[in-house]
Chain A
Amino acid sequence: MSQAEVRSIDALRDFRAALAVYGDDVLAALGAVDAEIRRTGQWLSQDRPYYWQEQIKRRRERVAAIRADLFRLKLQKTPEHHPSLAEPKERLRLAEAALQDAEKRLTLTRKWQPALNQAVLEYHGAVQRLKDAASIDVPRATALLTRIVEALEAYLQVQPPDGRGAGETRATPAMESIAREAIDHDEDQKKEPIPPAPKEAP
C-alpha cells in the first residue's frame, strides 16, 4: 500500500470523524438553547404570574398600612402637637410606586406569554434547516464517507498500489471510481420517490 493512498484514506477517515463530531456539536448547541427556552417559558408561565400576584397583594397591604399610619398621625395633630408627616408620606410614595411596578410587571408577564411563544416558533423555523442537516444529512454524509473508506480499503487489499512516490496524494483512477460509485448510490437514494400509499380496497 503506498503512502499516497494511505494518506488519502486517512484524510477521509479524519474528516468523517470531524463531521460526526460536528453533527453532535450542533445538536448539543441546539439542545442547550431548547433547554433555555423551556426554562424561561416555565418561569414566565408558572413562576411569574404567581409571584407578581403575591407581590401585588403584599404591596397593597403595605400601602394600606402606611395610609392608616398617616391617617393616625393626622388625627394626632393638635394646635400644640404637629407630628411630622414627611417621612410617612415618603414611605407611602415609595410603597405606591412599588405597587404600581408590580401591577405593571404582572401585565408584562401576561403580555409576554403569547409573544414568547411566537418568538420561539420563529426561532424553530430559523433553526429547522440546521437541525435537519445535523440529524439527517450529516449522519448520511458520514455513512457515505464510511462506505467510500471501506470500499477503498477493500480495493487496496485486493489491488496492491503501484508504489507511487510518497509525495503523490491523488487517489488512483480505480479509487476515484469507487468513490464515485458510492456517491452516485447516495444521490440515487436521495432522489428515490416516496412510494405511493397503498390503494384502498373498493
Chain B
Amino acid sequence: MADAKVVAGATRLKQTVRILNDHWLLTEDAWSDVVRRRFEEAHLAPLAPAVDAAVAGMQKLADVLDKVRRDCSDRSEPS
C-alpha cells in the first residue's frame, strides 16, 4: 500500500485541476473570444500535463515511502 498522505496529495491535485476546469467551462458563455483562447493556451493548457507529471511522480514517491516504512520498521514496535 502506497504512502497515504502522498496519495492524498495526488488525489487533491487531480481534484483541484478538475474543479478549476469546471470553473473555466462556466465562463464559456460569458467570455468566448480570441482573448479567452489565448488566455487558455498561455495559462491553463500547460497545467494539465504539469499535473499529470506531478501525480505520476507522487505515486512513485508514495510507493517508495511505503517500502521504506515497511523495510525499516519493527513489526513488534508500538506505532
Selected from A18, A36, A44, A116, the residue in CB contact (under 8 A) with B19 is A18
Nearest-CB distance from A177 to chain B (Å)? Answer: 9
Interface 9-mer from A74-82, A119-127, A156-164: A119-127
Known A12-B27, A15-B23, A127-B57; judge A112-B50 contact (CB<8 A).
Answer: no
**Contacting pair A126 B54 (CB below 8 A):** yes
- In the complex the two chains form, what is the Cα distance from A144 to B35 in whole Å? 12
A109 in contact with B72 (CB, 8 Å): yes
Instruction: Please report the C-alpha to C-alpha distance between residue A130 and residue B33 in the assembled complex, in whole angstroms.
Output: 27
Chain A residue with the shortest CB-CB distance to B3:
A36
**Interface size of B in residues (CB-CB distance below 8 Å):** 48
Known: A32-B5, A105-B74, A112-B72. A19 touches B30 (CB 8 A): no
Q: Please classify the interface of chain B as helix (H, G, I), strand (E, B), loop, or mixed, using the class held by over half of its residues.
A: helix
Query: How long is the Cα–Cα vector from A136 to B30 in the complex, in angstroms?
Result: 27
Cross-chain contact A15 with B24 (CB below 8 angstroms): yes
A130 near B61 (CB under 8 angstroms)?
A: no
How many interface residues does A have (CB within 8 Å)? 60
Chain B residues near A37 (CB-CB < 8 A):
61, 65
Report yes or no: B23 in contact with A130, Cβ–Cβ below 8 A: no
Give per-residue flags for A150-172: 1 if the beta carbon is below 8 A from chain B beta carbons, else 0. 00000000000000000001110
Please determine whether A179 and B5 come into contact, CB atoms closer than 8 angstroms.
no
**Known contacts being A15-B24, A123-B61, A171-B31, is A129 close to B54, with CB within 8 Å?**
yes
> Residues of A at under 8 Å CB distance from B?
7-8, 10-12, 14-15, 18-19, 22, 25-26, 28-30, 32-33, 36-37, 40, 43-44, 48, 51-52, 55, 102, 105, 108-109, 112, 115-116, 119-120, 122-123, 125-127, 129-130, 133, 137-138, 140-141, 144-145, 148, 169-171, 176, 179-180, 183, 186-187, 190
16 contacts between A and B (CB under 8 A): A12-B31, A15-B27, A32-B9, A36-B6, A102-B74, A115-B64, A126-B56, A130-B53, A130-B54, A133-B50, A138-B43, A141-B42, A141-B43, A145-B39, A171-B33, A179-B33
